[in-house]
Structure 1
Amino acid sequence: MTATAAATATRAISWFEIPALDFHRAVRFYEAALDAPLRREVFGGVPMAVFASDEEATGGAIVHNPRDMRPSVTGDGVTIYLNAEPTLQTTLDRIEPAGGKLDGSIVELPNDIGYIAFFIDTEGNRIGLHARHLR
């Protein structure tokens, strides 16, 4: 990592999602286990229960989207989004030269949250990227 990249990176993980088949049961479990309320929202028709975090912290949610996300003991259940700042496209441009493969298209999130995209790493893991700006 260059000195400039190290100076601008604030955290390695930007967002995470934990899939749940029984959304209400999962939310109750996490609220009880963590002794903290989760904020229920719907993004793109998908129910989510968002973990509380301040602006500087990594955020995440319980997600009920059984068509696209299922819990799994084989490692394909949890999606981790890595921080792609300063722009998503800059990071995406480095994926294939480094040996990875882009997976799908860029998605613009609502409410000026930013952009996400996915890639398959050299080991076969599907990882998400997030940045506030596309370019």
Structure 2
Amino acid sequence: MNSHIATWFELPVIDMQRAQSFYRNVLDAGFKDEEMNGFQLAIFDAEAGAVSGMLVLGEQYQPSPTGAVVYLNGGENLNTPLDKAIQNGGSVLVPKTPIHDGECGYFALFLDSEGNRVGLYSRA
């Protein structure tokens, strides 16, 4: 059995350039651009063996503020990417919030440039 339950994620986008710019600015993310079966893809750069995912532009992919929530690594302090999300056209839905008084880290939720509800997690 794999020790990771999550193995891949896909975030729907309406405007690929805008979405890539948003995540570059908010998370310092890099991407590998691809196209497959008529879908435009931007795969997040990640270390070998790490769980990763991609931005997807295609007819069957629609951003949603109410769908499943993907939690991304928020780095050392969630306030940094949350501030960057606001500066880049997103909005904060849930500010940095302790989990069990901070014993299990912190989470936050934001709305990205495409209208997806996305989570952030950090240990501190």
TM-score by length of 2: 0.51
Provide structure 2 residue ranges, at least 5 long, that are not aligned to the other structure. 71-124
CA distance in structure 2 between the partners assigned to 1:59 and 1:35 by the alignment: 14
Task: Kindly indicate which of the two structures has a greater share of residues assigned to strand.
Answer: 2
CA distance in structure 1 between the partners assigned to 2:48 and 2:30 by the alignment: 17
User: Of residues 52, 55, 68 in structure 2, which corresponds to 1:59?
Assistant: 52
- Give the secondary structure class of the aligned counterpart of 1:40: strand
CA distance in structure 1 between the partners assigned to 2:49 and 2:30 by the alignment: 19
- Give the secondary structure class of the aligned counterpart of 1:50: strand
Q: Which residue is equivalent to 2:40?
A: 47
How far off is 1:10 after superposition? 2.9
The aligned amino acid for 2:6 is I
- Give the secondary structure class of the aligned counterpart of 1:25: helix
- Give the secondary structure class of the aligned counterpart of 2:7: strand
Q: Which residue is equivalent to 1:74?
A: 66
The aligned amino acid for 1:69 is Y
Q: Which residue is equivalent to 1:13?
A: 6
> Looking at CA atoms only, which structure, 1 or 2, has the larger radius of gyration?
1
How far off is 1:40 after superposition? 0.8
Residues 1:26 and 2:36 are matched in the alignment: no
Stretches of 4+ moved more than 2 A in 1? none
The aligned amino acid for 2:65 is V
How far off is 1:12 after superposition? 0.9
CA distance in structure 2 between the partners assigned to 1:73 and 1:36 by the alignment: 22
How far off is 1:46 after superposition? 0.8
Provide structure 1 residue ranges, at least 5 long, that are not aligned to the other structure. 1-7, 80-135
CA distance in structure 1 between the partners assigned to 2:65 and 2:25 by the alignment: 23
Q: Deviations over 1:3-45 (max 9, x none)?
A: xxxxx31311110000001111001111111113211111222
Q: Which residue is equivalent to 1:120?
A: none
- Decide which moves more: 12-21 or 34-43: 34-43
Q: Which residue is equivalent to 1:38?
A: 31
Q: CA RMSD in A?
A: 1.9
Residue correspondences, number: 70
